[in-house]
């Protein structure tokens, strides 16, 4: 960002403001880097749960979120970040393009995009992140998640890969296996990394214990000790619950191998109002030298009578002066004519609570503030506007369809079966792993496309109708 623009922000350092902007932008989009998430294996599971439930619940007449614009207050409102969402006719998000402003030209330019694919059962099968290379004017693959499911339709495996520019191929990074108990609740997560020579090596596991009300009571994380060839305990999260049935406290302890005892490390506490809205969150860490809990972070929330979140204020504890210091604040505006169940949402949330915990109606705008601790007042630095439209084609209107391509691998021709596809003109596009389109051809059920002149390698195919991707996958040409 241009320094001249940052200098217009009164009494705030550029780095501090950038941190606030990044945090607030991530509230409503995928603008954060999935690889940087603290627990990407849990984020991946929640991503699947969100997209799968959204697809199953999609129907005509819902309001869908088309785009958002985050603007900075520089004496005038300057657009900064704009994610744009594309849906298929079933109401499933299939593409997210994240745009950022180029301050030299003051124009929005693509920064990254997310490609979301579904299997024949309508469940999330691939999530791919790509970045825009301005110099080469092309999309560069970066990160990939591939999902597999058990017979009960629950996520059983997720494979995480990164794109290797030198070999122009996807390389395994890690994989996660999810196991469930007889009640269908998460029982165990096993994490593996891609080791040498080309095999999966166990890294750690998480084991879940549930109470009689099917609430998490304990999460035990253990790391694999290669030397001892066994799992060693590492951390434990213990949950207690409020009288409302919601989480009241999460106590995190660390295992001390020398004493073989658990030592308190961190504590998160939640308070609620009479309507069971989470109005207060406190986190603290344990000072084992002084044997006391030291406050760390605090979030205060207010709610409307219809239980919509109205505001939240973030504070940090200053140990030097032993008091809470204001940091930033967000206020929310709604269109109460559209309840949560009438919305199509393209994003997921990776905190302890789902979106429904805080928003019962259509969110239309966020106002963003930071607290200037030099002049001791709130500064209005940004806002996020959300834009919605009516989704008119529902999943219930779609006849069952199947797409089959063969042979795969292919040498001379690829054949297409488009059974039950209720669309007009249909096109197949083929992209190499650098994101370059190498083929585009109109097809119908039973079409055969010549690929004999295309070089050997792995390609992404997309079947498109009416500007919507109705199916995509990988094909190998030999």
pLDDT tens, residue by residue, 237-283:
999 999 889 999 999 999 998 999 999 999 999 999 999 999 999 99
Sheet harboring 468-477: ordered strands across? 437-443, 426-431, 457-465, 468-477
| pLDDT attached to residue 432 | 77
Q: Is 87 helix (H, G, I), strand (E, B) or coil?
A: strand
322 has a pLDDT exceeding 70? yes
Task: Copy the structure tokens of residue 161.
Answer: 């890969």
pTM of the model: 0.74
CA angle 98, 40, 158 (to 5 degrees): 100
pLDDT band for position 144 (50/70/90)?
Answer: very high
Give residue 1's pLDDT: 30
Q: Give the mean pLDDT of the chain.
A: 82
Q: For residue 319, which of 361, 348, 341, 290 has the smallest C-alpha distance?
A: 290
Dihedral-angle region of residue 316 (phi above 0 means left; psi in -120 to 50 means alpha; beta otherwise):
beta
The answer on pLDDT for 403 being more than 50 is: yes
Strand 261-272 relative to strand 247-256, pairing: antiparallel
């Amino acid at each position: 960002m241009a320094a001249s623009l940052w200098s217009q922000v009164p009494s705030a350092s550029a780095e501090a403001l950038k941190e606030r902007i990044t945090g607030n932008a991530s509230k409503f989009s995928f603008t954060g880097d999935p690889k940087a998430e603290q627990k990407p294996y849990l984020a991946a599971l929640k991503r699947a749960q969100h997209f799968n439930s959204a697809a199953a619940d999609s129907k005509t007449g819902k309001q869908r979120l088309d785009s958002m614009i985050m603007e900075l207050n520089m004496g005038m409102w300057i657009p900064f970040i704009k994610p744009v969402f594309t849906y298929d006719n079933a109401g499933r998000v299939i593409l997210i393009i994240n745009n950022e402003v180029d301050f030299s030209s003051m124009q929005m330019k693509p920064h990254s995009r997310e490609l979301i694919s579904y299997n024949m059962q309508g469940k999330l099968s691939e999530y791919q992140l790509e970045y825009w290379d301005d110099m080469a004017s092309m999309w560069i693959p970066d990160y990939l998640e591939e999902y597999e499911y058990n017979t009960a339709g629950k996520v059983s495996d997720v494979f995480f890969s990164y794109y290797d520019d030198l070999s122009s191929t996807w390389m395994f990074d890690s994989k996660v296996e999810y196991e469930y108990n007889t009640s269908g609740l998460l029982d165990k997560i096993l994490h593996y990394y891609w080791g040498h020579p080309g095999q999966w090596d166990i890294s750690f596991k998480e084991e879940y214990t549930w109470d009689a009300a099917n609430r998490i009571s304990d999460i035990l994380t253990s790391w694999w000790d290669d030397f001892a060839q066994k799992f060693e305990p590492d951390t434990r999260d213990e949950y207690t619950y409020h009288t409302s049935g919601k989480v009241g406290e999460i106590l995190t302890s660390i295992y001390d191998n020398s004493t073989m005892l658990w030592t308190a490390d961190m504590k998160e506490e939640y308070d609620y109002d009479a309507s069971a809205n989470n109005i207060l969150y406190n986190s603290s860490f344990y000072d084992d030298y002084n044997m006391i809990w030291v406050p760390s972070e605090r979030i205060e929330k207010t709610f409307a009578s219809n239980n919509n979140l109205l505001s939240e204020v973030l504070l940090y504890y200053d140990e030097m002066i032993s008091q809470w210091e204001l940091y930033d604040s967000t206020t929310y505006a709604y269109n109460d004519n559209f309840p949560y169940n009438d919305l199509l949402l393209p994003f997921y949330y990776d905190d302890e609570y789902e979106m429904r915990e805080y928003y019962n109606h259509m969110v239309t705008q966020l106002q963003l503030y930071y607290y200037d601790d030099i002049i001791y007042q709130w500064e209005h630095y940004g806002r996020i506007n959300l834009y919605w439209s009516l989704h008119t084609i529902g999943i219930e209107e779609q006849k069952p369809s199947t797409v089959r391509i063969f042979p795969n691998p292919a040498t001379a021709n690829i054949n297409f079966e488009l059974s039950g596809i209720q669309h007009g003109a249909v096109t197949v596009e083929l992209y190499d792993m650098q994101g370059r389109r190498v083929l585009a051809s109109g097809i119908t059920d039973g079409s055969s496309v010549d690929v004999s002149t295309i070089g050997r390698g792995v390609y992404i195919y997309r079947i498109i109708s009416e500007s919507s991707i109705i199916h995509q996958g990988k094909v190998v040409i030999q």
